[in-house]
Structure 1
Amino acid sequence: MESLERLAGLLRRHATVEGLQRTAIPGVSVVRSGALTMPMPVVYEPTLCLIAQGRKQVMLGTTAYVYHPAKYLIASVDLPVTGSVIEASEEAPYLSLVLDLDMAELSDLALRHPLADEADAAPSSGIVLNDTTPALLDAAVRLVGLLDTPDDIEALSPLVVREILYRLLTCPGNGLVRQMAKANSRLNQIARAIAWLREHYNEPFRIDDLADIAGMGRSTFHAHFKAVTSMSPLEFRTQLRLQEARRLMVAEAMDAAGAGYRVGYESPSQFSRDYARMFGMPPAKDAGRLRGSAETAAR
């Protein structure tokens, strides 16, 4: 409890703006929210999310993951999710530490510290929740505490980050992290296909081509892809397309037809149907609402 209070105090001091804020420590961000937030789509890259105060819900497909100070979240591959802060107030804001997971460091640690009963199991969901341990929390406090002594960051932050990765690898129930660390694991085979989809989401593709990229047979690939992402490859691509279309309309003021075409839709009506299904309203109306909210917040 003392370590959790110390982490919350550090985050309260260094998370000076609403939302995600990069820090001087490479790969480390802090998050603050003084209010509940609407569900917002985002792509989670391989990440540790450790909450010091508040509560958040992430939807991957139709599966909800709720995490809080007693449970941290690991995202193992690039995943399009919808996230919302579900417990926060100005007096007790949502406070979180986000650490990008370094695959090279994880792999080196897994080689140096193998588990006796380690096996390459079939991948489960690409997101896992696990218990926050005192050792992990203590390391997180020391990592964020380096923001108070910036001259120490270059020398000490790699050591503390490596300790955190070691804690993740050796925590009971973290088989997913072990799979992330193994280059030839089923999870990393799926990750190769996901990386290709993220780069080519606006192009047509065949499932057989994705299976070849992953080095799997078609049926095996489809089963493992859905286990990791909770979606089929086509559903995954649709989410990527719609998230990018929304960004284009809000950030670059592109019209709905142009945004749909840019992300790979040939039919404006199909784009509108898919968009309304995901975001709850037609594209132009949703984009106008979001632009209006941003302008109001800026005043």
Structure 2
Amino acid sequence: MSTTLADYTDDDPLAAPRNELAARLSRLAPTDGNHDTAIEQLHVSRATDTTQCKPTVYEPAIFVVAQGRKQALLDGEPYFYDPLHYLVVSVTLPVGGQIIEASAEKPFLGLRLSVDPRDVSALMLETDTRAVAANASIDRGLYSARSTAPLLDAVLRLLRLLDAPQDTAVLAPLAIREIYYRVLVGELGDRLRELATADSRADRVSRAIRILRTRYTESLRIDELAEAACMSASALHHHFKAVTAMSPLQFQKHLRLHEARRLMLALGLEANAAAHRVGYESASQFSREYKRLFGAPPKQEIDRLREAEIAA
């Protein structure tokens, strides 16, 4: 998308809800980084500087931004989310993430609402949101779309509930369902419906992704994965790449490398131990593939991350 933050002004129709959203997120995220909230599915973030593009794994979620700008890169294609656009990730996806507009005066302020596709499927059954054909074409498992007044209104009502903890347990699920609904009926809601429609091609790919997500340490054969997804091996390979921009084996490799990185950074494991833990038999292969993804050998990259944390 070519729209920039200079393309809207404070007198546009969504200025008031955006300003309130920014104020609430600023209070919920007083420091840089990601912050949990009293609503389990809701997380908020703040950044006072731009970042380099970093490999990361996005789980199914809806991302809404009040201030600043961020992009997700999948197969070299950018998906922007900012005060004008929200981002939807409908399946687990290894992507590149980068904050491209942020400053101390106007920090990046955004929120992430985790999505369970099963909840979206249940909502589709209870409403008139149109399901897609089982043989519909498959698009990427993420997209950005124009923010709307009804969507921002639902998001704000969810945030306001954090000021009324006695109401949260009852009303938060209703606000979350409305957010799902607004996305489903939005301009690109068919993308989300496609992934949540039982036994569609995209749903079968989602099954394969869930298997890889939980069994990434195992040596899975493509035939075994295809059988679990009720597809031929060639069909799974083709449609999996349409959703994720990578093959199932490449996807599994990314999951392994990201988990190894987490184990080294959070638990202090040595590279060899982390490699073995996530399913690598060859330490040298692990080091080569780690460097290819993260730009440096394991120890060097982890040391750099720790130094950056200390400096911050």
Both proteins in one fold, TM over 0.5 = yes
Corresponding residue SS for 2:137: coil
The aligned amino acid for 1:5 is: N
Aligned match of 1:134: 149
The aligned amino acid for 1:233 is: P
Aligned match of 2:198: 183
- Quote the offset at 1:181 in angstroms: 2.8
Measured in 2, the distance between the counterparts of 1:237 and 1:102 equals 21
The aligned amino acid for 2:240 is: F
Measured in 1, the distance between the counterparts of 2:224 and 2:194 equals 23
Deviates more, 1:110-119 or 1:12-21: 110-119
Pick from 236, 248, 263: which aligns with 2:263?
248
Structure 1, unaligned runs of 5 or more = none
Aligned match of 2:174: 159
Contact kept? 2:55, 2:94, Cα under 8 Å: yes
Measured against aligned partners, the alpha-carbon deviations of 1:79-123 in whole angstroms (never above 9, x if no partner) come to 122212111111111111211123343222212333568434122
Structure 2, unaligned runs of 5 or more = 1-14
Aligned match of 1:294: 309
- Quote the offset at 1:164 in angstroms: 1.0
The verdict on how the C-alpha distance between 1:52 and 1:209 changes in structure 2, with shifts beyond 3 A counting, is same
Aligned match of 1:17: 31
The alignment's TM-score, normalised by the length of structure 1, stands at 0.93
The verdict on how the C-alpha distance between 1:161 and 1:52 changes in structure 2, with shifts beyond 3 A counting, is same
Corresponding residue SS for 1:73: strand
Contact kept? 1:43, 1:80, Cα under 8 Å: yes
The aligned amino acid for 2:291 is: A
Deviates more, 1:57-66 or 1:132-141: 57-66
Aligned match of 1:272: 287
Aligned match of 2:7: none
1:36 aligns with 2:57: no
Corresponding residue SS for 1:52: strand
The verdict on how the C-alpha distance between 1:105 and 1:258 changes in structure 2, with shifts beyond 3 A counting, is closer
The aligned amino acid for 1:127 is: L
Contact kept? 1:125, 1:228, Cα under 8 Å: yes
- Quote the offset at 1:234 in angstroms: 1.3
Pick from 83, 87, 97: which aligns with 1:73?
87
Measured in 2, the distance between the counterparts of 1:272 and 1:116 equals 47
- Quote the offset at 1:281 in angstroms: 1.1
Measured in 1, the distance between the counterparts of 2:273 and 2:119 equals 42
Number of corresponding residues: 297
Measured in 1, the distance between the counterparts of 2:123 and 2:277 equals 42
Contact kept? 1:39, 1:83, Cα under 8 Å: yes
Pick from 199, 202, 209: which aligns with 2:224?
209
The aligned amino acid for 2:105 is: E
Contact kept? 1:130, 1:174, Cα under 8 Å: no
The verdict on how the C-alpha distance between 1:269 and 1:104 changes in structure 2, with shifts beyond 3 A counting, is closer
Aligned match of 1:92: 106
Contact kept? 1:248, 1:254, Cα under 8 Å: yes
Measured against aligned partners, the alpha-carbon deviations of 1:102-160 in whole angstroms (never above 9, x if no partner) come to 33432222123335684341221001111111110111111111122222212221221
Measured in 1, the distance between the counterparts of 2:141 and 2:308 equals 32
